[in-house]
């Protein structure tokens, strides 16, 4: 996935699945100090809503290793 381009969480889940991982959510670094935005953490987000990730944002995954 490229940063700076809108994607939905279905796309994020599929990218994780191709690596043998399960995507659970994401963390938007720009909102890390904003309690009203759950400090940037979204677990089980709306899968059809477009989101644009920045370079320092992270996907929350379950992985074996």
Q: Is the pLDDT of residue 1 over 90?
A: no
pLDDT surpasses 90 at 34: yes
CA-CA distance, 65 to 62, in Å (whole number)?
A: 9
Mean pLDDT of the region 52-58: 98
Please give the model's pTM, rounded to 2 decimal places. 0.90
Report whether 27 contacts 11 (CB < 8 A): no
Residue whose token pair is 């944002």: 57
Residue 65's pLDDT is 79
Q: What mean pLDDT is predicted for residues 2-26?
A: 97
**Rounded Cα–Cα distance for residues 65 and 52 (Å):** 27
SS3 assignment, position 4? coil
Give the strand pairing for 41-43 and 51-52.
Answer: unpaired
């Amino acid at each position: 996935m490229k940063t700076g381009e809108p994607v939905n969480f279905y796309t994020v889940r599929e990218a994780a699945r191709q690596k043998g991982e399960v995507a659970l959510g994401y963390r938007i670094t720009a909102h890390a100090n904003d309690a009203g935005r759950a400090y940037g953490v979204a677990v089980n987000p709306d899968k059809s809503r477009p989101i644009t990730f920045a370079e320092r944002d992270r996907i929350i995954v379950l992985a074996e290793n």
